[in-house]
Structure 1
Amino acid sequence: MTTVWKHEGLRGLYQGVTPNMLGAGASWGLYFFFYNAIKAYKKEGKLETLSATEHLVSAAEAGAMTLCITNPIWVTKTRLVLQYNAGIDPSKRQYRGMFDALIKIYKTEGIRGLYKGFVPGLFGTSHGALQFMAYEDLKLRYNNYRNRVSDTKLNTVEYIMMAAVSKIFAVSATYPYQVVRARLQDQHNTYSGVFDVIGRTWRKEGIHGFYKGIVPNVIRVTPACCITFVVYENVSGFLLGFRKGNN
């Protein structure tokens, strides 16, 4: 943070905020949409709740479908964040903003450029799959422990606890793929593919290289995840209640 502040000022700390907001909004919205649609399809005609494995597979499928749509946004976000060689001089920046980055990447690298990091991103669907599996399982076990119906709505503090624990678990288990994907998308380095990134990172940095930045990542994504899940659960509950009230 100190280095970024010295070289780029406040603006440097907010590089890539636009595609991050659009990417996060689109990703979460599409993810919840696909996930719940897949769950509903699998649960159709069944009285019992879905198993942990079924939640895992449903979340992985939803993640893959979401990534197909949102990968170009994450590429532009990574490129904007990694304009560290321009310093505070805007004229030296390779990209002026999100749409400028999208256009330039498409012109110089084609569709392939917008889907850099897609393969490790697919492996990264395991992150969301593990998170949703843990989240659903924690809710189920907690309601069973409290002798309540399995789909009983929790309060805000309980949702925050479930979301935080499931997120930290998922990040810890899948973080290396994020390092590999970011390095593939970095315009300052050239890699021939996923295995080239893995090999060079291992040779130069060892196992620690695959976990660079995990602490700030956990600090950043956990509160965001908790807010997202709390808002989603409460808004969806409100909308369902509102719809029932009108029927």
Structure 2
Amino acid sequence: MIKKQMQGGDPAYRTSAGQHLLAAAEASTITALMTNPIWVVKTRIFATPKNDPQAYSGLWNSLTRIYKTEGIRGLYRGSLLALVGVSNGSIQFATYEELKRRRVEAKRKRFAAIGRQWQPEDEKLTNTEYILTSGGSKFVAIALTYPYQVVRARIQNAAPSEGLTIPKVIRNTYQQEGLRAFYKGLGTNAIRILPGTCTTFVVYENLVWLFRKAAVAKQKRENVKEHLA
């Protein structure tokens, strides 16, 4: 939706890498603010053993319990880091759009080299190319932003009385565990996330082209009817 607004309703308008980054940042910010309470609950549930009397036992129970004991601020612990984390989605989508643009441009050059006329539908890439571009862009985003997720999880899991701040968590983690601590679980996380990311983008791109073809076919039928009338 944001990207369409930037295009001004003109599908032929090519948005720049900066515009891709801005659109992704706006969308990611909205998502981060809406889902932060759920991430707080998830972190608390996984951090407490089931046999612990103070264990969190479900989404609604956890939300109400945190709200009663810590207030609305408790549900938005780590929200500053969540906003910093929008860079993950921003980097991913901006990188994806840039990689996709480069693949299309390379395809155009191949067509020009063999004298083949370029058609609008030729902008569609293969599923393999969508997998590689989406997977590559997601991995770049994960690698660049993973440390913030470690810091965010530790802040959300801490009791309010501990008074943890972002600089304090970063300093303590580095001093006690070293730089590698900020990348704990990176490989596992990438393996868990990448298949879903690739599948989502492949399905999305194919649906976009399916709807686009349907719209073109409908327009042609309407043009024929007008011509016959």
Output the TM-score relative to the length of structure 1: 0.75
Aligned pairs for 1:1-247 (under 5 A) are 37-44=1-8, 48-83=13-48, 85-86=49-50, 89=51, 92=53, 94-147=55-108, 152-187=123-158, 190-242=162-214
Q: CA deviation at 1:231?
A: 2.2
Residue 232 of structure 1 deviates from its aligned partner by 2.2
Deviations 1:24-59 (A, max 9, x none): xxxxxxxxxxxxx22122221775411111111111
Of residues 131-140 and 194-203 in structure 1, the stretch that sits farther from structure 2 once superposed is 194-203
Letter in 1 for 2:189: N
Task: Give aligned pairs, total.
Answer: 207
Does the 8 Å contact 1:184/1:191 carry over to 2?
no
CA distance in 1, matches of 2:89, 2:216: 30
* TM superposition score normalised by structure 2: 0.81
- In structure 2, the CA distance between the partners of 1:112 and 1:244, relative to structure 1 (3 Å rule), is farther
CA distance in 1, matches of 2:35, 2:213: 31
Gaps of 5+ in 2: 109-117, 220-229
The one-character-per-residue Cα deviations of 1:69-100 (angstroms, maximum 9, x if unpaired) are 111111111112212x34xx4x7461111221
C-alpha displacement of 1:241: 4.2
Q: Deviations over 1:88-144 (max 9, x none)?
A: x4x746111122111111111111111111111111111111110110011110011
The amino acid across from 1:105 in the alignment is I
CA shift for structure 1 position 153: 2.3
Aligned-pair CA distance for 1:233: 2.1
Q: CA RMSD in A?
A: 2.4
The 8 Å contact of residues 120 and 177 in structure 1, kept in 2 or not, is answered as: yes
In the alignment, residue 146 of structure 2 is paired with which amino acid? Answer: Y
Give the counterpart letter for 2:21 in structure 1: L
Following superposition, the deviation at residue 234 of structure 1 comes to 2.5
- SS of the residue aligned with 1:69? helix
Task: Give the gaps of 5 or more residues in structure 1.
Answer: 1-36
Residue 33 of structure 1 corresponds to none
Where 1:146 maps in the other structure, the secondary structure is: helix
Residues 150-182 of structure 1 deviation map (CA, whole Å, 9 limit, x = unaligned)? 982223222111111111111111111111111
> What letter corresponds to residue 2 of structure 2 in structure 1?
I
Deviation at 1:239, TM superposition (A): 4.0
Identity level (%) = 43
